[in-house]
Amino acid sequence: IAGFQIPQSFEHLDGISVAEWVNQGFPQGLYDLYFLPFAKSSLNSPDILSAGELLQFFHFYFFGNPEGLAFSGTKDDMGTGLVQPIVTAIQQQENQIITEATVNQINYDQGKINSLNFQQGNSQNAVPFWVEKNQLLSNNEVEYYGAGDRVFIAATNSQEAMSLTCTHQGCTVSKQDDGTFLCPCHGALYNEKGEVLEGPAKRNLPHYKIEQKNNNSVQLIALNPVTLEKTTTMEADYYVIATDVPGVKQLWGLIKGNNNDQIYQKITQQINQLAVADPFAVARFWFDRDFAWEHSDFSSLSGYKLTDSITLYHHIQQQFIDWAKRTGGSVVELHAYCYKETEFPTQEALLTTFEQELLEIVPELVDANCLHRELVNQKNFSGYPPNSYQQRPETRTEIDNLFLAGDWVKMPFPCGLMERAVSSGLLAANEILNQEGLQRRTILTVTPEGLLKI
């Protein structure tokens, strides 16, 4: 951990999972108390996380980085605190940001991206997308596709699917014995066709046409697309794909043109091999009372079936501090970084367990009234399984005007998660500066070697 050399450390340790590695005589107490919570905060479960990746995280956060464990939080929400200032800075330079755009084609010709086409509008647009079958939920009569808060249902052999994402706040509605669909978060009820029977939802569940089907997935397209604008074509000097793993797979699948070359085949293979981790869940609760708390306002936890950390938002972010002052209430968030779908197949199961565990963690809340709750539950986080290091794409691709950024790209120095995403973005920017003959920006990294070099 004190030294992490790329690629040598990966050559030693990328071949085994964390679970296999600790089975080789690692002290159990040390594992339970420190390694397990930390391994899970990589959002990858120890049975499918490469030991090489874990030690890279450890080196980056503990031994190579004097600030690694000093958590900084934004005083406002991330949108206000981080995203909006960047948006303003970009716009002040008279640059344009296009939001809510869905790319529907990337035009490629023998080693170069020439342009891309996109549509603006909401997710109900006419761009097809693939979703994997959810084997756990499917049965003889109905098939489920997707996971977390992006699930679709289709009767077996039907050519149509329906989204199960509640149109109120995005939880996944579940099928009841009488055929209706109930939202576990706020109680919205829909009939068999997805029409709202009871609020708070106001819009019906959208329907999709099944365009193509194979053993493991379906390609869906909105049945009644709402298209605000015609397709726009954008030509750029450089293209940086900075999505999550499902996003880069979706975009790469939209490449059209003369693509029989080896460069295209190689990148396709690298992107296809990128893995997605087990799903994560984040639940936030608003209570009508406060409670005493002696620990850090963000604390990792160990030993619970689901909960991996707790955050007291009414202590750290201004809007919640103000709300708590006004009402005497509290706002608490629980994270589960990588739970197993076999243990928690539905969002009811997630919410029930989160609520039970919260009362164990904060017994003072037993008599409190829960005023509101929100759940974010996605299966799109980057997977770092054993033997994935070698094949990972790097920021620079063999296509001269295409770069990749995100926490899933192969990096030349140790880093993880948010820092890996940011550093890979900076590397992409540097590549572009370099091609333009401009000076590259210095990127700071942790030192790869040695405790005493900190």
Ligand X SMILES: Cc1cc2nc3c(=O)[nH]c(=O)nc-3n(C[C@H](O)[C@H](O)[C@H](O)COP(=O)(O)OP(=O)(O)OC[C@H]3O[C@@H](n4cnc5c(N)ncnc54)[C@H](O)[C@@H]3O)c2cc1C
Contacting residues toward ligand X, per CB under 6 A: 43, 103, 242-244, 247, 250-251, 280, 282, 335, 381, 406-407, 417-419, 421
Cα 267 from Cα 239, distance rounded (Å): 15
- CB 334 → ligand X: shortest distance, Å? 10
Cα 6 from Cα 23, distance rounded (Å): 24
Closer to ligand X by Cβ: residue 103 or 189: 103
Residue 299 and residue 310 in contact, taking contact as beta carbons nearer than 8 Å: yes
Closer to ligand X by Cβ: residue 26 or 71: 71
Displacement of CA 192 from its chain's centroid (Å) = 30
Cα 45 from Cα 68, distance rounded (Å): 21
Closer to ligand X by Cβ: residue 72 or 439: 72
DSSP 3-state assignment of 57?
helix
Closer to ligand X by Cβ: residue 143 or 419: 419
Q: What is the DSSP string of 287-300?
A: ESS-----S-SEEE
Pairing assessment for the beta strands 309-312 and 298-300 based on DSSP bridges: antiparallel
β-sheet bridge partners, residue 166 = none
Contact residues for 372 (Cβ-Cβ < 8 A; gap 6+):
285, 286
Closer to ligand X by Cβ: residue 313 or 381: 381
Lookup result for tokens 């033997």: 387
DSSP 3-state assignment of 252?
helix
Cα 330 from Cα 193, distance rounded (Å): 38
Closer to ligand X by Cβ: residue 14 or 419: 419
- CB 326 → ligand X: shortest distance, Å? 27
- CB 118 → ligand X: shortest distance, Å? 9
Cα 119 from Cα 103, distance rounded (Å): 6
Cα 100 from Cα 103, distance rounded (Å): 10
Residue 83 DSSP label: I
- CB 2 → ligand X: shortest distance, Å? 21
Q: What is the DSSP string of 346-411?
A: SHHHHHHHHHHHHHHH-GGGGGPPEEEEEEEEE--PEE--TT-TTT--BSB-SSTTEEE-STTSB-
- CB 56 → ligand X: shortest distance, Å? 13
- CB 328 → ligand X: shortest distance, Å? 28
- CB 164 → ligand X: shortest distance, Å? 19
- CB 263 → ligand X: shortest distance, Å? 22
Closer to ligand X by Cβ: residue 108 or 181: 108
Closer to ligand X by Cβ: residue 17 or 41: 41
- CB 274 → ligand X: shortest distance, Å? 12
Nearest residue to ligand X on Cβ basis: 247
Closer to ligand X by Cβ: residue 190 or 280: 280
